[in-house]
Amino acid sequence: MTHQTSRLSESSKQRLDELLQDKIHQGTLPCIFWAATNAQETIYENQAGLRIMGDETSGQVTPETTLELYSMTKFVVALAVLQLVDAGQLNLDDEDIVYRILPELGDQKVLQGYDENDDAILLPQAARITPRMLLNHTAGCTTPQRNAMLAKWYAKQGHQAPDGLSTKASVRSLIAPLLHQPGSTWMYSSGTDWLSILIHRMTGLTLEEYFRNQIFDLVPGKMPDTTFYPRPDIVERKAAIYLRLDNGDLKKYPNFSNDRPNTVETVSKEFLAGSGGLFGTTRDFLALCRAVLQCDPSNLSPPARPLISPASFKLLFAPSLTTDSAKAEAVKYYRWEGRWSPDPTVENMTHSLGLAVNLCDSDHGRRAGSGGWYGMARTHFWIDPASGLAAVCSTQVIGPEPDPWNGVFNAFERTLYSELESNGEATLE
């Protein structure tokens, strides 16, 4: 087979630089970060904007500017779970481990609705929850912020709604009924939070310790600025984060978004959110994507200590949804995001164990077999094994879809791919 090594000429980098400046001068975003890598090295990195929009004294953003990564954290959890699979400590289809190690989740029934007396209708589980279901959002667990029926259950119970970024974040707040039978359909979920607890209970390490020891320190450069803890140096370099108002204006959060802790001491001692708790830089996350790209079995120069096995690498980009309902619901979610082309269908997009996966080439550039995800503040990444490329594209804006960000994201991808120079290197298979 052939392993592709993607590169950019100096003139191509200049065209990306010019596009970046054009996009930031449109004034719809506070900052923009663009970066791309092949399996060996960074091929493009640049950023634009002020750390605080409109405040020249705050300084320009740099590669060391820290961001709130939100659901990019889920990808790191997926890598951790696959490492446990590689080590023989976990089976993705084990039907007992959730009930043994996460009994709080295993005990939950399925909320079907409410009867004429407004009492919850709860049914027993018809299938067993597996780690695979927790990874690919088919286990049935979710949060009240995403479902009115579950929000009603929390209110009637007087139960604290889960907020993994709160100073009071706890395992107890996650304990709630399922919203569908395990494995039956797809619903964006709290599965990675439960997997975070599983990792902690299996290894005896906090999620910060596991990520640091088993993932970040294995990445060249060691991802020094990626952490669950807002250390003073993280806070000092952090880009301001904004809320997009209905009229399109941006409103700066007074501190961090959603009142999350802004000191190390105020982070919950009980629970670190695998669903979205990380801070980090675009540079760090690009290095992580490069380390994953190096695990491709077609890579001519694999690392001495790869993050995951070749088999696990393939799983990251392989379809994992088995029911028609799950496939349709995942596609409905992608379509709502409004940034994919062609328009998502069950024929051209699906979900793997941790990524949204393209089943055909995207109109914007990425090839079939690519996988990516993003954080709520619009921090995106994708890995394209067929092109030998990974990229990170970020800002710091929370708000409804569609957003002006989508055009910036798509323009970066289109221009990046149009400028690529690829060399095919023969490998034996």
Predicted confidence (pLDDT) per residue in 344-379, tens digit: 999 999 999 999 999 999 999 999 999 999 999 999
Q: Looking at the domain assignment, is residue 210 inside a domain?
A: no
DSSP readout, 345-393?
-TTTEEE-SSSEEESS--TTSPPTT-EEEEETTTEEEEEEGGGTEEEEE
Give CA–CA dist 355/292, Å, rounded: 13
Same domain assignment for residues 286 and 195: no
Give percent of the chain above pLDDT 90: 90
Same domain assignment for residues 357 and 398: yes
What's CA 360's distance to the chain center, in Å?
21
Same domain assignment for residues 151 and 36: no
Q: Looking at the domain assignment, is residue 248 inside a domain?
A: yes
**What is the extent of the structural domain holding 326?**
2-79+220-426
Predicted confidence (pLDDT) per residue in 377-413, tens digit: 999 999 999 999 999 999 999 999 999 999 999 999 9
Same domain assignment for residues 237 and 277: yes
Confidence of residue 423 (pLDDT cuts 50, 70, 90): low
Q: Looking at the domain assignment, is residue 227 inside a domain?
A: yes
Instruction: Compute the mean pLDDT over every residue in the chain, rounded to the nearest whole number.
Output: 95
pLDDT at 25: 98
Give CA–CA dist 285/120, Å, rounded: 43
Give percent of the chain above pLDDT 70: 97
Q: Looking at the domain assignment, is residue 125 inside a domain?
A: yes
pLDDT at 3: 58
pLDDT at 425: 46
Predicted confidence (pLDDT) per residue in 313-336, tens digit: 999 999 999 999 999 999 999 999
Q: Looking at the domain assignment, is residue 211 inside a domain?
A: no
Neighbour tally for 177: CB within 10 Å: 20
Q: What are phi and psi of 245, to 5 degrees?
A: -80, 165
Q: Please report, as a single letter, which amino acid is at residue 277.
A: G
Output 186 or 2, whichever has higher pLDDT: 186
User: What CATH number has the domain bearing residue 19?
Assistant: 3.40.710.10
Same domain assignment for residues 68 and 95: no
- Counted domains in the chain: 2
Q: Is 264 exposed, middle or buried (0-12, 13-18, 19+ CB in 10 A)?
A: middle
Same domain assignment for residues 314 and 386: yes
Predicted confidence (pLDDT) per residue in 138-171, tens digit: 999 999 988 999 999 999 998 888 788 888 889 9
pLDDT at 146: 87
Give CA–CA dist 35/391, Å, rounded: 6
Predicted confidence (pLDDT) per residue in 71-80, tens digit: 999 999 999 9
Same domain assignment for residues 375 and 230: yes
Predicted confidence (pLDDT) per residue in 4-16, tens digit: 689 999 999 999 9
Same domain assignment for residues 6 and 30: yes
